[in-house]
Amino acid sequence: MTSYPTAGGAVAEPVRVRRLTDQEGWKLQRIVRRGSTNSVRCRRAMMLLASAGGNRVPVIAQLVQADEDTVRDVIHRFNEIGLACLRKVHGRVIQTGGREALRCLLARRRVAFQHTKTWKESPDPEREAKLDRIEEVLDRFPDRGFAFDEFGPLGIRPAPGLGWAAQKRPDRLPATYHRTHGVRYFHGCYSVGDGTLWGINRRKKGAVNTPAALKSIRAARPDGAPIYVIMDNPSAHKGAGIRRWATKNKVELCFTPTHTSWANPIEAHFGPLRQFTIANSHHPNHTVQTRALHAYLRRRNANARHRDVLAAERKERARIRSEKGICWGGRLLKTAA
């Protein structure tokens, strides 16, 4: 390691952080990779992580666009008090008019510093007609209405989540794992009128497994009267064989428009399914995972109006319909006459 001569002729060691513990290294890496709403915290973490990686002060200062003395101060502070140095401590407040004037200008123009977002707009030329038909089915024939969709892929790996634990001693999941069990897809069916949810796990989704789900829906109304099944529109859902079977058995297939899967009523029910069976879990294999899934379905169907289930459904519905669907090319709700 190269040393630098000081004014008195003595040689001083380059400034760098002490050796990090595993917890400190993971936390700094997480802040730098994921970012932080606190820019000061993120910049200081970047300085420390860069120093721990062997970068010199001039290189770090150029990396974070800061003064070299600032980088040295942060490193010295970390060596003294550890990660507590990441907390922002206000210095002397400089009274300037420019910052306040800029804030007022941006406020008047309704400009804010924020994350970018993405959205999808449906290119389906029959979008409005399909949505009208789905709304008509849900309004006029709720007792004859059903929904179908696949949920997955469901892998065997530690899944983070929330759960009850002793204070400051949360349940821990392994950070390393091997994916040796493959994936499964839950083929879910939902009765709009009864509020019940059922389904089965399959190794893959495709045209082979879709008819089995539709037959289970038809069996839920064995009276022979027409029923309506709302489902997404991939090719595996609308093959010629499926259409012939649907026509023969009086099943109307109501397809959602392209990129508009939020219009499928079953989507909101997959949120609680994930929350109560996948989140905060580490299933050893698909058999145990499937048992947990079906145990939830039995409890859910017996307590379909439970407040926890309803709260999870509302949360998922708000997420998938994001701002009433406007960002996804959705349409505003119809105003009452």
- Which residues are 251's β-sheet partners? 227
Q: Is 26 left (phi over 0), alpha (psi -120 to 50) or beta?
A: alpha
The count of structural domains within the chain is 2
Cα distance between residue 198 and residue 310, in whole Å? 17
Can you list the positions of beta strands (E) in 196-250? 197-202, 227-231
Closest CA to 258 of 238, 233, 236: 233
Last residue of a domain, one of 65, 86, 107: 86
- Locate tokens 């999808």: which residue? 120
Tell me, yes or no, whether 68 and 135 share the same domain. no
> What local confidence, expressed as pLDDT, does residue 293 receive?
94
> What local confidence, expressed as pLDDT, does residue 137 receive?
93
Cα distance between residue 155 and residue 289, in whole Å? 9
In a domain, 93, yes or no: no
33: confidence class by pLDDT, cuts 50, 70, 90: confident
Contact (CB, 8 A) for 131 and 263: yes
- Sign of the torsion formed by the C-alpha atoms of 322, 326, 329 and 334: positive
- Domain at 287, CATH number: 3.30.420.10
Tell me, yes or no, whether 318 and 269 share the same domain. yes
Tell me, yes or no, whether 146 and 64 share the same domain. no
Least confident of 117-131, 230-244, 273-287, 304-318: 304-318
Domain enclosing residue 53, as ranges: 15-86
Tell me, yes or no, whether 63 and 151 share the same domain. no
Instruction: Report the share of the chain in percent with pLDDT over 70.
Output: 84
Cα distance between residue 82 and residue 88, in whole Å? 14
Contact (CB, 8 A) for 61 and 71: yes
Cα distance between residue 217 and residue 18, in whole Å? 64
Residue that wins the pLDDT comparison between 9 and 21: 21
Tell me, yes or no, whether 139 and 256 share the same domain. yes
Can you list the positions of beta strands (E) in 6-142? 11-12
Q: What is the pLDDT of residues 243-257, one digit of tens each?
A: 999 999 999 999 999
Tell me, yes or no, whether 65 and 132 share the same domain. no
Contact (CB, 8 A) for 149 and 237: no
In a domain, 206, yes or no: yes
17: Cβ–Cβ under 8 A, 6 or more apart, which residues? 48, 51, 52, 75, 78, 79
